[in-house]
């Protein structure tokens, strides 16, 4: 398809506009930082807190992370978009012979959509996505169809790829989790779910008659994998704070010791952010005298696996221990404009599933065939810009700011809980559905949660708690039974 001159101008105009917003945001951030020493008024403090510069305040993300392209880390952006431009009829694609003149133009639709996303990104509280990022330096690469089809380590005949960046990302995570050189394999996935599907697939290929054990509070993708691969799956009850019940796990393993064990270890559950204790699970296996050749351990680390190395307490996540595979998301803690992630495993496992494909001149080892090469490039860029120090600052911000939110809710008389190894604050489910939708809260039965990410600031938390308090006064409360057992 030929790209028209008008289309190029529209694309250039929109990219230029986005870049100018980035520059303006950065300039505002820099001015706030430069006036810290000159002014200590309440207004100036709020601006500084909004960008988390103060060492004595909750959080201190990396300087690069503060460069906020889309306003996700600034104050709440009013919803100023034309809804009529985004209705199903307005955005429909006319067929041959239909009158297009009555419809809004593509530019009008996209401008309205841009305003909608800016507003909703500023009140994004319930899902674990880091919206504090800037990738404007990569915009020019969007004109290329970058496809990493095939195995990351086996070049194919397709030359427009980002394999060198993908391999660099894999190497980074392998070093982070202490894997020996030439002992690992991995690839950039479309999401944490794909990483889980791949990890459980490897486990099933190693143990065709194995039983999958995972906690009842596990992400649904693990249970999806069990259905896809027709595996026997045992959902283990959890402790009140969300960890797997270790005594129940031990009983199930003992009962089924005649079959191999495939164990999913949650490095942060979906709703409560609970981390299963890897060392306790390994102790159970050792006590039951289950040999390594009879078990496979997969770690679902979608959000917290990238945070865990920088948090004190808990059992270390490391391939120096007898774990086999791990999945982590790239768009969550790291931040990326498209869903992505990493699947990492011991090399001997992937060798059991690889097949050579003549058409690719590569081997088939991944879940997907064509793979988004842009995602590998974006993850590489984020890791290079942040570095370990930047990630650690982001993690510290999340952990400290989560404690601030917990304390503010408690002061307001709102029931809430926070696991020690988590930035997910669980609270009573608001009675007003409009409030839930406004702040995009994830809810389950009588509880909701806020996942504190680098783009969630002190000023936003203050506003959230204030609006929640007003909502409780107007719509009432329903005390969550599940929170009272969580001590």
> How far is Cα 55 from Cα 485, in angstroms, rounded to an integer?
35
Catalytic residue among 25, 422, 423, 459: 422
> How far is Cα 242 from Cα 216, in angstroms, rounded to an integer?
9
Cβ–Cβ < 8 Å for 320, 174: no
Cβ–Cβ < 8 Å for 276, 267: yes
Indicate the DSSP class of residue 97. Answer: T
Count other C-beta atoms under 10 Å from residue 339's C-beta: 18
> How far is Cα 200 from Cα 206, in angstroms, rounded to an integer?
10
Cβ–Cβ < 8 Å for 169, 340: no
Which helix H or strand E contains 253, and what residues bound it? helix 246-255
Q: Give the tokens for residue 187.
A: 């690839």
Give Cβ neighbours of residue 469 (< 8 Å, ≥ 6 apart): 412, 414
Residue 455 DSSP SS3: coil
Q: What angle do CA 267, 326, 421 make, to 5 degrees?
A: 15
Cβ–Cβ < 8 Å for 377, 162: yes
Residue appearing with tokens 């808990």: 314
Residue 116 DSSP SS3: helix
> How far is Cα 283 from Cα 322, in angstroms, rounded to an integer?
11
Residue 476, classified by CB atoms within 10 Å of its CB into exposed (0-12), middle (13-18) or buried (19+), is exposed
Cβ–Cβ < 8 Å for 456, 125: yes
Residue 280, classified by CB atoms within 10 Å of its CB into exposed (0-12), middle (13-18) or buried (19+), is middle
Residues facing 295 on adjacent strands: 261
Cβ–Cβ < 8 Å for 450, 425: yes
HEC string of 131-158?
Answer: CCCCCHHHHHHHHCCCECCCCCCCCCCC
> How far is Cα 377 from Cα 375, in angstroms, rounded to an integer?
5
145 tagged catalytic: no
Q: What is the dihedral of CA 140, 72, 273, 285, to 10 degrees?
A: 20
Cβ–Cβ < 8 Å for 455, 127: no
Which amino acids are annotated catalytic? 422
């Amino acid at each position: 398809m030929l790209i028209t001159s008008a289309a190029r101008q529209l694309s250039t105009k929109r990219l230029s506009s986005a870049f100018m917003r980035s520059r303006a945001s950065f300039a505002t951030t820099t001015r706030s930082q430069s006036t810290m020493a000159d002014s200590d008024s309440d207004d100036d403090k709020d601006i500084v807190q909004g960008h988390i510069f103060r060492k004595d305040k909750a959080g201190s993300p990396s300087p690069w992370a503060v460069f906020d392209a889309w306003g996700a880390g600034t104050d709440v952006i009013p919803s100023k978009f034309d809804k009529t431009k985004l209705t199903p009829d307005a955005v429909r694609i006319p067929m041959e012979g239909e009158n297009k003149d009555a419809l809004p133009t593509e530019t009008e639709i996209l401008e309205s959509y841009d305003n909608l996303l800016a507003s909703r990104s500023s009140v994004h509280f319930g899902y674990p996505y880091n919206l504090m990022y800037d990738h404007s330096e990569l915009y020019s690469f969007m004109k290329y169809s970058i496809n990493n089809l095939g195995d990351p380590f086996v070049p194919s005949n397709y030359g427009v790829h980002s394999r060198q960046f993908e391999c660099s990302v894999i190497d980074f995570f392998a070093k982070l989790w202490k894997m020996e050189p030439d002992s690992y394999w991995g690839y950039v996935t479309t999401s944490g779910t794909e990483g889980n599907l791949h990890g459980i697939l490897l486990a099933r290929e190693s143990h065709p008659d194995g039983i999958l054990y995972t906690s009842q509070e596990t992400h649904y993708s693990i249970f999806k994998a069990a259905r896809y691969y027709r595996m026997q799956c045992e959902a283990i009850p959890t402790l009140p704070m969300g960890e797997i019940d270790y005594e129940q796990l031990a009983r199930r393993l003992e009962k089924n010791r005649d079959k191999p064990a495939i164990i999913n270890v949650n490095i942060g559950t979906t709703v409560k952010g609970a981390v299963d204790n890897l060392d306790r699970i390994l102790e159970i296996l050792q006590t039951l005298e289950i040999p390594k050749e009879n078990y496979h351990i997969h770690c679902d680390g979608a959000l917290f696996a990238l945070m865990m190395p920088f948090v004190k307490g808990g059992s270390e996540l490391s391939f120096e221990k007898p774990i086999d595979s791990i999945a982590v998301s790239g768009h969550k803690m790291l931040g990326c404009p498209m869903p992505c992630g990493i699947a990492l495993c011991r090399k001997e496992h992937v060798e059991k599933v690889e097949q050579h494909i003549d058409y690719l001149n590569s081997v088939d080892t991944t879940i997907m065939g064509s793979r988004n090469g842009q995602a590998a490039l974006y993850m590489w860029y984020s890791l290079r810009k942040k570095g370990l120090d930047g990630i650690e600052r982001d993690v510290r911000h999340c952990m400290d700011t989560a404690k601030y939110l917990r304390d503010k809710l408690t002061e307001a008389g709102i029931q809430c809980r926070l696991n020690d190894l988590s930035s997910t604050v669980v609270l009573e489910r608001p009675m007003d559905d409009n409030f839930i939708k406004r702040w995009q809260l994830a809810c389950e039965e009588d509880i909701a949660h806020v996942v504190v990410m680098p783009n969630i600031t002190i000023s936003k938390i203050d506003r959230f708690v204030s609006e929640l308090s007003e909502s409780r006064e107007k719509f009432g409360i329903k005390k969550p039974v599940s929170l009272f057992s969580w001590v």
